[in-house]
Every structure is written in structure tokens, then in C-alpha cells.
């Protein structure tokens, strides 16, 4: 198969979907790899490192899309890429369709095959290609939140861990999944008072056992959240419903309950955000203020630490990408249930129900699409 790796062009996105080591694995299996010039530079990988393992460097993004049968990316295509995508071309990347109707319709129109990292799902319901970036984003949420709590950055001027004789900050984490657990662990390690909420009592019991003593667990409901936001200095949104739009746990009217200079970090922004006043921002302009409350809503947080993020992501994605290349997407998805659940859009049809539901589109069960395609 012909693999294409374009350079990411989203604002300040420095990750790359394939390392030279990954390119070497594809070549070892007999596949051709084309990488756009400087695609790996932001993550510390030079063109010469790709060439050394047998990949071919192409000068433009148009050339990469034009030659590739499978495009491997990090972030969803943006508008300038829509016209480059070919019918039947396989795109393997993060899509987060439920947060963008424009992207969904563009991919339907392209008649491409869109396999989303974020909905590849194991039998135990874990999301193996979302976990590594969730770990990075969860830890970064506290790092960024602590920075924006500083007075010159617009925050309350509070040191997260306090000092002797001065209370530490109060951190509220909404959601007890991978992002939430990593955020709570980081905040607790810095000495903050942490409260983590979730709707799953078994998950709360687990978190109670593994997290430090300065982390409290609370059942998530509107009454409890309204009460907790009053004293929170930093609030982290870490809610995920696989493939679907995140619910609004913090509503517009709750802002008036918060102290001026409170910082909100919504990690769920690429799925629509779990904070109603959230809208996507960039690393270039990461924050905005509403009613005296600082909002940090960068949609590609791990892009700020590309070396760590690229290695963490490609460690997880490469085995699946190799399967797709070795077998073709039809056979790979028919034989591997994890990959089958990653299919979101196939040849003009929405085959992931949460995406169809988000925009009132017709839903085609993925099995119907695969049954019509000979797998050899």
C-alpha cells in the first residue's frame, strides 16, 4: 500500500503521525511511504531520517494526498485539505466528527473512508488510540491551569500548592476517565486540594483507592457541581462520550457563582466542550475571559509538547496502521473489531451512530457497508 504522511497545518500543531521508526516498519512490510518535507521537524525528526529508512520526501501536501492510498495524520483535515481528499482514500487520524458538522459533510462529499483514532475501541470499552493523548492532555491541563492562575495571566494569583501557612488552590475535575485521573494526579502532586466528580460509582471507588489523600471523590450531578464551582480556583473539563458531543456540565449561568479569576480548562473542547461557554482556541491565542472567568480551550493541547506526544501517539497507532496497510481497510476492519468501531464515514455514508445522531443524518450500520465489499 502507498502511505502518505502530510505535514499538520492546524495552528501550532507540531506533531507528526509517523516517526522514522514507524516508516521503517512500513517499508519492512513492503509498503511505500511518502512524507511531506519537514512534516516531522516540529517533533524533532528531520527529512534525512525518513529517507534513511526508505521513505520518499515530497515537497507539497498536494503531492502527498495525490499519491497516497492511505493518509495517516494527527488532526482532522481542515478546509484547505478537503479538496485534496480522493474517493476511496483511507484517512486514519483523529476526526472528532460530532463537534464539526462542516467536517462531517465535507468527508461525506469526498466519498473517502474515514477511520477515527478516537472511536477505535477494545472489547473492554477502552479507547487505545485516545488514551495516550488523553494522558498528555490531562497532565497539561494542570500545567496550563497553574500558569493561567497567575495574576499577570489573568488568574486569581494563586499558587496551586500554596506554601506553609497559606492554603493551596482548590481544583475541580469534571470526569474520572483517563484525562480526569491524570489531571487529579498532577494537581494532587503539586499539593492542591482536588475534587474529582464522575457518574460511575465503581469508577469513583477505584479512583479513591489509587489517588492521593488530598483528592476527594464526589458523585457528579448538577446540584453538586453548582456547589463545588463556588470555591474552585481551577476547573478541568474532562468528560468523554466516545464519538459523541460532550454534555454541558458547567452552564453559562454557573459563571456568576465562581470567583473572579477562576480558570476553566476544557479538555473536551474537540468534542464540543463540557463547559457551555467554551469555544475552541489555539496555542497562539489560548484564552479568553467571560464574566471575569479565564477560559483555556485549546483543541490540540498535546501539540505544544510534540516530541512526547508524537512518540506516545505513534506507539499506539502504528500496530493498527500496519494492519490496515497489510490487509487493506476492508479486510482489517472485518477481522478486527477494534478497527471496525473506528469507521465513522465510508463512501458517503455515516456508519457511526453517535455522529449521525449529532447532526440528524442517516445512519448505516457498518456491517452493511462491509458486507457489500469483497474482502478476499
Q: What is the pLDDT of residues 70-123, one digit of tens each?
A: 999 999 999 999 999 999 999 999 999 988 999 999 999 999 999 999 999 999
Q: Are residues 291 and 187 in the same domain?
A: yes
Q: Are residues 217 and 285 in the same domain?
A: yes
* Residue 266 lies inside a defined structural domain of this protein: yes
Checking if the pLDDT of 134 tops 60, the result is yes
Q: Are residues 41 and 103 in the same domain?
A: yes
Label residue 54 by pLDDT band (50, 70, 90): very high
Q: Are residues 144 and 277 in the same domain?
A: yes
What whole-number percentage of the chain has pLDDT above 70?
98
Please check if 239 is assigned to a binding site.
yes
pLDDT at 374: 55
Tell me which of 96, 248, 295, 338 is the catalytic residue.
Answer: 96
Per DSSP, 69 falls in state S
CA–CA–CA angle 184, 185, 186 (5° rounding): 95
How is 129-191 classified by DSSP, letter by letter?
TTHHHHHHHHHHHHHHHHHHTSGGGTS----TT-BTTBPPPEEEEE--SHHHHHHHHHHHHTT
CA distance 16 to 10: 12
Q: Are residues 275 and 314 in the same domain?
A: no
Please check if 202 is assigned to a binding site.
no
Is residue 96 flagged as an active site residue? Answer: yes
pLDDT at 372: 66
* Residue 154 lies inside a defined structural domain of this protein: yes
Q: Are residues 122 and 135 in the same domain?
A: no
From 296, 320, 336, the end of a domain falls on 296
What domain count does the chain have?
Answer: 2
From 277, 296, 315, the end of a domain falls on 296
CA distance 106 to 73: 17
* Residue 109 lies inside a defined structural domain of this protein: yes
Q: Are residues 165 and 237 in the same domain?
A: yes
pLDDT at 244: 73
Q: Which domain holds residue 236?
A: 130-296
* Residue 117 lies inside a defined structural domain of this protein: yes
* Residue 103 lies inside a defined structural domain of this protein: yes
Q: What is the pTM of this model?
A: 0.87
pLDDT at 241: 79
Q: What is the pLDDT of residues 343-353, one digit of tens each?
A: 999 999 999 99
Q: Are residues 88 and 216 in the same domain?
A: no
Label residue 373 by pLDDT band (50, 70, 90): low
Tell me which of 233, 266, 270, 338 is the catalytic residue.
Answer: 270
* Residue 301 lies inside a defined structural domain of this protein: no
Please check if 250 is assigned to a binding site.
no
Q: Are residues 151 and 85 in the same domain?
A: no
Q: Are residues 109 and 53 in the same domain?
A: yes
- Of how many residues is the chain composed? 376
From 261, 277, 296, the end of a domain falls on 296
Q: Are residues 314 and 362 in the same domain?
A: yes
Q: Are residues 270 and 335 in the same domain?
A: no
CATH code of residue 342: 3.40.50.720
Checking if the pLDDT of 375 tops 70, the result is no
Please check if 298 is assigned to a binding site.
yes
Checking if the pLDDT of 376 tops 70, the result is no
What whole-number percentage of the chain has pLDDT above 90?
93
Amino acid at each position: 500500500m502507498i502511505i502518505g504522511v502530510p505535514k499538520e497545518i492546524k495552528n501550532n500543531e507540531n506533531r507528526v503521525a509517523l516517526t522514522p521508526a514507524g516508516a521503517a516498519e512500513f517499508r519492512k512490510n513492503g509498503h511505500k511511504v511518502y512524507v511531506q518535507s519537514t512534516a516531522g521537524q516540529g517533533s524533532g525528526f528531520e527529512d534525512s531520517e525518513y529517507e534513511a529508512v526508505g521513505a520518499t520526501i515530497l515537497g507539497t501536501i498536494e503531492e502527498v494526498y495525490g499519491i497516497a492510498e492511505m493518509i495517516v495524520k494527527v488532526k482532522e483535515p481542515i478546509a484547505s485539505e478537503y479538496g485534496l481528499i480522493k474517493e476511496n482514500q483511507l484517512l486514519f487520524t483523529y476526526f472528532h466528527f460530532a463537534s464539526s458538522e462542516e467536517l462531517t459533510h465535507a468527508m461525506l462529499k469526498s466519498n473517502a473512508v474515514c477511520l477515527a483514532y478516537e472511536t477505535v475501541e477494545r472489547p473492554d470499552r477502552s479507547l487505545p488510540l485516545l488514551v495516550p493523548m488523553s494522558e498528555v492532555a490531562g497532565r497539561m491541563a494542570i500545567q496550563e491551569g497553574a500558569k493561567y492562575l497567575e495574576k499577570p495571566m489573568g488568574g486569581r494569583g494563586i499558587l496551586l500548592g500554596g506554601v506553609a501557612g497559606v492554603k493551596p488552590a482548590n481544583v475541580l475535575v469534571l470526569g474520572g476517565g483517563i484525562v480526569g485521573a491524570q489531571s487529579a494526579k498532577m494537581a494532587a502532586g503539586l499539593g492542591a486540594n482536588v475534587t474529582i466528580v464522575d457518574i460511575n460509582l465503581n469508577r469513583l471507588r477505584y479512583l479513591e483507592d489509587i489517588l492521593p489523600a488530598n483528592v476527594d471523590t464526589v458523585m457528579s450531578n448538577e446540584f453538586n457541581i453548582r456547589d463545588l464551582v463556588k470555591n474552585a480556583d481551577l476547573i478541568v473539563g474532562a468528560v468523554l462520550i466516545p464519538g459523541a458531543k460532550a454534555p454541558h456540565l458547567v452552564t453559562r449561568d454557573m459563571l456568576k457563582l465562581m470567583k473572579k479569576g477562576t480558570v476553566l480548562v476544557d479538555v473536551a473542547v474537540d468534542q464540543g466542550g463540557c463547559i457551555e461557554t467554551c469555544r475552541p482556541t489555539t496555542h497562539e491565542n489560548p484564552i479568553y475571559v467571560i464574566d471575569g472567568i479565564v477560559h483555556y480551550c485549546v483543541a490540540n493541547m498535546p501539540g505544544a509538547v510534540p516530541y512526547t506526544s508524537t512518540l506516545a501517539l505513534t506507539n499506539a497507532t502504528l500496530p493498527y496502521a500496519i494492519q490496515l496497510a497489510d490487509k487493506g481497510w476492508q479486510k482489517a476492519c472485518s477481522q478486527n473489531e477494534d478497527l471496525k468501531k473506528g469507521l465513522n464515514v465510508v463512501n458517503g455514508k455515516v456508519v457511526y451512530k453517535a455522529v449521525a445522531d449529532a447532526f440528524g443524518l442517516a445512519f448505516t450500520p457498518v456491517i452493511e457497508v462491509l458486507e457489500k465489499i469483497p474482502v478476499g
